[in-house]
Amino acid sequence: MKRISIEGQTAVITGAGRGIGRGIAEEFARAGADLALNDYNPIPDDLVEFVKSEGRRVVTIQADVSKTSDCERIIETAVKELGRLDILVNNAGITRDGLLMRMDEAQWDTVLAVNLKSVFACSRAAVKHMVRARKGAIVSISSIVGIIGNAGQCNYAASKAGIIGFSKSLARELGGRNIRVNMVAPGFITSDMTNALDEKTRERVLANVPLGTFGQIADVANAVLWLASPLASYITGAVLQVDGGMAM
């Protein structure tokens, strides 16, 4: 089977230690990219070994993306260690669910800082290098919840909708510099985040998915890879929904 290639490119992926971020890292390594992998906790050794076994260079950066100085350190370390930066994947994200009337300020602030402020801070740091190189691709992980909303997730939905407004604006700012800015909006993907849902919620969700199943991490990783690759060279400001038709 012919694979998408990003051979020789370098990519930063945030929240790459597990879940979708890890899936993206594995897919990018298979596609030929050298990787700077960030996570709040240490990146697992077996992921580092996998990237190396694909013949790629890898640097790991333990950092909290809710802190602007940490985001800057991620990008600067990546450029220093790998020599350049072609692709940024803003993947790190959390939920702190609750109905609005019971949501405290910390639930709001934490989710907005990890999910949205990080996208601002990492993108701003990355763009400095991409503008100089007159080349780059940013892909941020939004969510269909940012498009259609979800009761109990006002904070999360606001952060994911914020990513869309931010990215479309940045796509307009940077189009003339040969830097593309796109988003992937997953629906319900089998991962630690969705495994935490109770059975009733899972059944309710599936009833609204035309393809009738939860998505797999690889479905999201493939979409991110495609948007980051030269195959999507005329695409910017786009939100690619990977949701089994849920939010059409």
- Comparing CB distances to ligand NAP, the nearer of 15 and 244 is 15
Least separation, in Å, of the C-beta of 243 and ligand NAP? 8
- Comparing CB distances to ligand NAP, the nearer of 15 and 162 is 15
Segment interacting with ligand NAP (CB under 6 A) among 11-19, 53-61, 120-128, 225-233: 11-19
Binding test (CB under 6 A) with ligand NAP, winner from 6, 19, 138, 170: 19
Is residue 20 at the binding interface for ligand NAP, with CB under 6 A as the rule? Answer: yes
What does the alpha-carbon distance between residue 47 and residue 58 come to, in Å, rounded to a whole number? 10
The contact mask relative to ligand NAP for 51-80 (x = CB under 6 A, - = no) is -------------xxx--------------
Is residue 241 at the binding interface for ligand NAP, with CB under 6 A as the rule? Answer: no
Residue of 108, 156, 188, 214 with catalytic role: 156
Of 9, 7, 27, residue with least CA distance to 222: 27
Burial class (CB in 10 A: 0-12, 13-18, 19+), 142: buried
- Is residue 234 annotated as a catalytic residue, yes or no? no
Please report the DSSP string for 159-203 in residue order: HHHHHHHHHHHHHHHHGGGTEEEEEEEE-SBSSHHHHTS-HHHHH
Binding test (CB under 6 A) with ligand NAP, winner from 13, 58, 85, 92: 92
Is residue 17 at the binding interface for ligand NAP, with CB under 6 A as the rule? Answer: yes
Binding test (CB under 6 A) with ligand NAP, winner from 26, 27, 34, 39: 39
Mapping DSSP onto H, E and C, the string for 210-243 reads CCCCCECHHHHHHHHHHHHCHHHCCCCCCEEEEC
Binding test (CB under 6 A) with ligand NAP, winner from 153, 194, 229, 241: 194
Helices 118-133 and 154-174 pack at an angle, to 10 degrees, of 20
Burial class (CB in 10 A: 0-12, 13-18, 19+), 207: exposed
Q: Please check whether residue 224 is in contact with residue 24, taking contact to mean a CB–CB distance below 8 angstroms.
A: yes
Catalytic residues: 156
Which stretches of the chain bind ligand NAP, using CB under 6 A?
14-15, 17-21, 38-41, 64-66, 91-94, 114, 141, 143, 186, 188-189, 191-194
